[in-house]
Structure 1
Amino acid sequence: MLGEAAMNVEVVVVGAGPVGLATAVALRQNGHEVAVVDKLAAGANTSRAAVIHAGTMDVLESIGVTKSLLATGLPLPQFAIRDGDKLLAGFGFRSLRTNHPYTLTIPQTVTEAVLLERLEELGGSVLRPRSAVGLTQDANGAQVTLDTGDVINAQYVVAADGVRSTIRELVGIAMPIGTPMLSASLIDVRIDGGLRTDEVTLYFAQAGVLVVAPFADGSFRLVAATPDAPEHPDVAYAQQLVDVRGPKSERPIVTDIVWGSRFRVYERVADRYREGRVLLAGDAAHTHSPVGGQGMNLGLRDAVRLGGALSTALTSGDESELDAYVVQGRAEAVEVVALAHRLTRVANAPRLLRPLRNLILGRVGRSESAKQRVAQRIAGLAGSRDEG
């Protein structure tokens, strides 16, 4: 319990996923008092997001977590699109101007654990299980009421509480629901043979697409768009996906399911990122297709940028960086949603258009400049110094 007296901090972060934790770390690193609250009794035990791209790793250097992430993740130098065993296009990261020329595959549980360890190292912690149920604000600050009846007073509130954000709803920021683009299976499996361990692969097949990402522990992440995704996929279901959509020269044998789920893909961006003292970040602000692995990456870049902007506002009273975050952060989200939309549409092209799609991808795969541009976009480096 917080006790009878209200807690007074500079910032309340609602949500202790990767985005909330990274925001809190950025603030604590600059000496600010932060309260992080989360409705779960413990951190999530599922992997969900599975990749951290080069541009995000560059940003995470500023909060001191890249070495720990690298110690447990698997750096992969290429993203490839294949039709069975045939390479249609390979997008390498080694030539990009970045300190981290790879995609790092790492379960979200591990990413959260690294960020939480860094937060605790800086003297922070997470209040669990606590749900934010009320919020009031004025020109001087905000007050967040918890389900325990306790109140936290702060200068600012960060809504990092996911796509169904309570804080976003409490302050009246709209996030149009729309219709789902597709439904999909997300499964972590153990497999004997047949799958590449040196790249993230997007397989094209008549039955649909399959994304395969290897992890450092030898397991693999499978993502497949499918209308009949079971809530709890079993070995037989995962084996069928790999058989029908994966490589052909050597049959991968699924031996075990580590974790699995199904989900619906929506494309949504909040109407605005700020209402008074409240700012949105991560899935509370945007959500889209997992093709390309951009969701958590965009959220982590939100978090570090927002943490720095809040620090400036708290230290000097200058909110110009917050204004820039609101405008630039939403603009980047719109671009990333558009990129994920295009990748999803290409991946799930109608059957009659797939030969033309593969022909065009083959031509892209033979153009070094085109491959470089695509690699920059996937890596989260487009529009940065890497384009020069």
Structure 2
Amino acid sequence: MLPEQTDVLVVGAGPTGLAVAVTLAAHGVRATVVDGLAEPPVTSRAAVVHAGTLEVLDRIGVSAPLAARGLPATRFSVRDRDRVLVTVPFDRLPSRYPYALLVSQAETEAVLAERLTALGGRVLRPYRLTGLDLDAAGATARFAGGETVRARWVVGADGMHSAVRDLAGIDFGGPADDPGESFLLADVRVDSDLPRDQVSLFLGRQGPLVWAPLPDGTVRLVATVPDAPREPRARHFQALLDERGPARRPDRVTELLWGSRFRIHHRIAGTYRSGPVLLAGDAAHVHSPAGGQGMNLGLRDAVALGDTLAAVLAGRPDQLLDGYAAARRPLAEEVVGFADRLTRLATVPPAVRPLRNLLFRVVAGLPPVRRKIAVRLAGFEPDRAVIRR
């Protein structure tokens, strides 16, 4: 049952919303967390938590139990069919977590939810936000069942199609008629000679293909496609592997556990704060999944926002929240640009591919450059941008 009043209303119980609530609870602030779904999803897009994110999540007691459920990947390889263009090492990152943790987003959400429960919080379901009335003292949220909640602060962590963002009148950029990039994704069982201790990014002429092993022995596949089928089958993912994956020893899909399609735009909210409304995660920024940066940036947003909100509720000036907005948005711009560049590198015309591959081979021969890429992928923000030699 919804309370009549709350200090913080968090809309959305995905990774970002849960991480905001856990951070607040760690400071002794109990937020009201709502989600429109009756049950948490058991399938999801994101499959990697990077070292920089694990360092941040460690502050709220989440990294150790999450690491216990994941598969550490010490390398990230960029490939053109059978040719390894460059291998990026993670094992020398300046972190207690010198790897990329391969773990389903559903597991990440489960660990966060368990931590929230341990701190005395919970998620209230299903409550779908339909209205938001803002004033100088806060906001009144209205829900589909007729319920209302008065909140001092409202956190929009409700994804790309955020109701909070739309109801607050915050611009999300980009043309309204832009269909976005089309993607297929799936968890499959596959006979493959590819190493199971790393993520592989194949730069196919038709677009990128991400091959990421998961702890249960399955493989997450994500690929851009011109027009994704409504109900993808195993044959669609076999065709992607045949088209973009290893050629000498082709992968063979033996089972499709689940598959889906989605579209992604490259957009950033015009502001992360509008009065009592604050945005984080996909409600604030969306982009290509190349490099596995989206959920990671959202989780780091969440902890930063939770820390800041707790400070304001403890008596610090609410201008601190303007600082949150000012600091996080440029980071999103950087991540969106980085993901876009990776996608462009994958889809260069055939005539340019030899030059692109030569560039990668040059990078492969320069360890300082490889280490710099590792830090960038790992998601260390400016104060952690040094890597051990």
TM-score bin, normalised by smaller chain: over 0.9
User: What's the TM-score, normalizing by structure 1?
Assistant: 0.96
Give the aligned partner of residue 158 of structure 2.
161
CA distance in 2 between partners of 1:34 and 1:275 (Å) = 19
Give the aligned partner of residue 249 of structure 1.
248
Q: Which moved more, 1:267-276 or 1:220-229?
A: 220-229
Give the aligned partner of residue 360 of structure 2.
361
Match of 1:147 among 144, 149, 152: 144
Match of 2:111 among 106, 110, 114: 114
CA deviation after TM superposition for structure 1 residue 145, in Å: 1.4
Q: Deviations over 1:61-106 (max 9, x none)?
A: 0111111111111110111101222211111111121121111111
Give the aligned partner of residue 285 of structure 1.
284
Give the aligned partner of residue 171 of structure 1.
168
Q: Deviations over 1:248-281 (max 9, x none)?
A: 3323221111111112221000000111011001
The alignment's C-alpha RMSD in Å is 1.4
Give the aligned partner of residue 335 of structure 1.
334
CA distance in 1 between partners of 2:172 and 2:60 (Å) = 30
State the SS of the aligned residue for 2:57.
Answer: helix
CA deviation after TM superposition for structure 1 residue 359, in Å: 0.7
CA pair 362-180 structure 1, distance change in 2 beyond 3 A: farther
CA distance in 2 between partners of 1:29 and 1:152 (Å) = 23
Task: Answer whether contact 2:266 2:286 (CA < 8 A) is retained.
Answer: yes
State the SS of the aligned residue for 1:209.
Answer: strand
CA distance in 2 between partners of 1:267 and 1:199 (Å) = 27
Give the aligned partner of residue 231 of structure 1.
230
2:94 paired with 1:97: yes
Give the aligned partner of residue 265 of structure 1.
264
Give the aligned partner of residue 82 of structure 1.
79
CA deviation after TM superposition for structure 1 residue 181, in Å: 5.2
CA distance in 1 between partners of 2:145 and 2:270 (Å) = 31
Match of 1:17 among 14, 20, 43: 14
Q: Deviations over 1:212-263 (max 9, x none)?
A: 0000000001111111322222122211211221113323221111111112
Give the aligned partner of residue 64 of structure 1.
61
State the SS of the aligned residue for 2:207.
Answer: coil
CA distance in 2 between partners of 1:194 and 1:186 (Å) = 21
CA distance in 1 between partners of 2:271 and 2:342 (Å) = 25
State the SS of the aligned residue for 1:10.
Answer: strand
CA deviation after TM superposition for structure 1 residue 208, in Å: 3.3
In the alignment, structure 1 segments of 5+ residues that lack a partner are: none
Give the aligned partner of residue 374 of structure 2.
375
CA distance in 2 between partners of 1:159 and 1:382 (Å) = 23
CA pair 103-148 structure 1, distance change in 2 beyond 3 A: same
Match of 2:124 among 107, 123, 127: 127
Q: Which moved more, 1:123-132 or 1:225-234?
A: 225-234
CA deviation after TM superposition for structure 1 residue 387, in Å: 2.9
Give the aligned partner of residue 193 of structure 2.
194
Q: Which moved more, 1:128-137 or 1:51-60?
A: 128-137
What residue identity is the alignment partner of 1:186? L
CA pair 317-383 structure 1, distance change in 2 beyond 3 A: closer
User: What's the TM-score, normalizing by structure 2?
Assistant: 0.96
Q: Which moved more, 1:212-221 or 1:139-148?
A: 139-148
Task: Answer whether contact 1:54 1:102 (CA < 8 A) is retained.
Answer: yes
CA deviation after TM superposition for structure 1 residue 195, in Å: 2.5
CA distance in 2 between partners of 1:229 and 1:196 (Å) = 28
Q: Which moved more, 1:245-254 or 1:67-76?
A: 245-254
Q: Deviations over 1:149-204 (max 9, x none)?
A: 22212211100111111111111101023335531211110112323201100112
State the SS of the aligned residue for 1:306.
Answer: helix
Q: Deviations over 1:16-71 (max 9, x none)?
A: 00000000010111111211111000001212111111100100001111111111
Q: Deviations over 1:346-386 (max 9, x none)?
A: 11112221111111111011111111111111111152333
CA distance in 1 between partners of 2:93 and 2:8 (Å) = 36
CA pair 353-181 structure 1, distance change in 2 beyond 3 A: farther
Task: Answer whether contact 2:53 2:300 (CA < 8 A) is retained.
Answer: yes
What residue identity is the alignment partner of 1:8? Q
Task: Answer whether contact 1:96 1:386 (CA < 8 A) is retained.
Answer: no
What residue identity is the alignment partner of 1:78? R
2:23 paired with 1:26: yes
What residue identity is the alignment partner of 2:99? Y
CA distance in 1 between partners of 2:14 and 2:148 (Å) = 22
State the SS of the aligned residue for 1:357.
Answer: helix
Task: Answer whether contact 2:5 2:149 (CA < 8 A) is retained.
Answer: yes
CA deviation after TM superposition for structure 1 residue 210, in Å: 1.4
